[in-house]
Amino acid sequence: MTTRVLWSLASLTVLLALPGVMPRASSTLGQAPPASPQSGAPQAAAVPILLPEEKHLRSVRQLTFGGENAEAYFSKDDKWIIFQHRGAGETADQIYIMDTEGKNRRMVSTGKGRTTCSYIFPGNKKILFASTHGSSDSPLAPPDMSRGYVWKLYPEFEIYTAKFDGSGLKRLTNNPGYDAEATIRRDGKKVVFTSKRDGDVDIYSMDPDGKNLKRLTTEPGYDGGPFFSFDGKLIVYRASRPQTPAELADYQELIQTDLLRPARLEIFVMSADGSNKRQLTKNGAANFAPFFHPDGKRIIFASNMENPRGRNFDLYMIGLDGSAPERITFSPEFDSFPMFTGDGKKLIWASNRAAKQRGETNLFLADWVE
C-alpha cells in the first residue's frame, strides 16, 4: 500500500517483500503492493491484540477487519480518520474516511489508478491525497525487478484536494516528476510533500493552493515521508543517503528512470524552512513513518533496529536530541504508521497482529499511557 506506506533500506527490501507491509507511500516509494491472500491460503498465526510488554498501550481497539489498511491519520479535531485501503482481489489502494469508532466508512478517492498519502484539512471540509488517476484509470504496472529490488517513483503521481466527501476534486501539482507523500501543517496553511521535480527526490513545501513552492532538502539521496510538529516549527522525515561513490552512482543511474534501490533509512529533523537539519537515528536499519508527540520533545517511528535484516518492525520513541529509543510495540508482526491525537492520549497505527489471513494489515487505536 502506499501511501503511501513509509520506509537499513537494504533491510527495507525485506519489509517491502512482506505481505501486507506498506511504507509511507505504498505507492509513494513505489510500493509494489503485496498480493492479496488467495482463497484457502494458510492463516497467519494469531498474535494477541495487546502484549504484556506494551506498557504504553491500553484499551486497544481494532478498527478495520481484512485487506490491507495503513497510513491512518486523524483530523485536527480527532473525530475522523483518513486512510488507505486495498481489499482482497483489488489491485491498488484507494482513500477512505471513517470515524474513530470505525463507523461511517466511505471511499473518498476516485476509485481509479493508484492512490496514496492522504490527510484532512482543519475544519473537516477538505482532504488531500496523491493519485495516478489523471494518467490512467487502471493501476500502473509494478516496477521491473530485473535489476534487483527497487521502488518505483511513479511520475504519474500528482497531489489533489477534494471536499470531505470526495467531490470537487482539484489538482495541486502538475509536474512530470513524482509528487506524493503530502501532509498538512496543523493550521492548514502549509503542505509539505516529496517530489522528483528537480531530478533528485526531495522535500518541498507549498501553500494549500499549490503556490509559494519551496524546496527544503537538496542532499543527494531520497528524502521523504515528512510531517510537521504540532506547533508547525519543525519537520520530521526519513532519508536515505548513499554512503559510497558506488552507491551514489547506482542511485543516480536508477533515479533517471524513476527507480530507487532501498539502502538505509534514517530519521531526520529540520526547521520548517529547511534549515537546521540533523540526523536522529544512526543505526543502519530501516527507520521510517516518524511522527511527533504533541509535546514536541519526542518522535515515534517504526524500525527493525533489533534485527536490521529481519522481518519484524516495531514502534519506538526517541527524544528530539536523538537519545536512546524506547521500544513501544513487541509483536512479532509488522507495526508501523503511528499517529497521536492532538492531546497525546490516543495512538493509531497499522499492524499485522490479529490477522486472520497472511498479508492482512489492520488499523488499531489505543489509549496512550505515559
8 Å CB contact between 224 and 29: yes
Say whether pLDDT at 29 is over 50: no
Pairwise pLDDT comparison (27 vs 214), residue with the higher score: 214
Residues β-bridged to residue 243: none
In Å, what is the CA distance from 246 to each residue of 82, 161, 196, 267, 342? 40, 40, 21, 23, 44
Assigned C-alpha cell, 277 = 537539519
Domain at 9-36+56-368: CATH architecture: 6 Propeller (2.120)
Say whether pLDDT at 295 is over 90: yes
From first CA to last CA, the distance across the chain in angstroms is: 31
Model confidence band, residue 46 (pLDDT cutoffs 50, 70, 90): low
In the block, cell 484507494 appears at 94
Pairwise pLDDT comparison (284 vs 104), residue with the higher score: 104
**Gap between the Cα atoms of 264 and 283, Å rounded:** 9
Overall average pLDDT of the 296-315 stretch: 90
**Could you state, in order of their start, the residue ranges of all structural domains in the chain?**
9-36+56-368
Overall average pLDDT of the 286-293 stretch: 95
**Gap between the Cα atoms of 182 and 139, Å rounded:** 20
Q: What is the mean pLDDT of the chain?
A: 87
**Which pLDDT score is estimated for 261?**
79
pTM: 0.89
Nearest Cα to 158, choosing from 124, 199, 117? 117
**Which pLDDT score is estimated for 176?**
87
How do residues 309-351 score in pLDDT, each as one tens digit? 777 899 999 999 998 889 999 999 899 999 999 999 999 999 9
Say whether pLDDT at 38 is over 60: no
**Gap between the Cα atoms of 20 and 5, Å rounded:** 10
**Gap between the Cα atoms of 183 and 161, Å rounded:** 12
Work out the percent of the chain whose per-residue pLDDT is above 90: 74
How do residues 189-224 score in pLDDT, each as one tens digit? 999 999 999 999 999 999 999 999 999 999 999 999
Segment (H or E) for 116: strand 115-120
Model confidence band, residue 1 (pLDDT cutoffs 50, 70, 90): very low
8 Å CB contact between 347 and 54: no
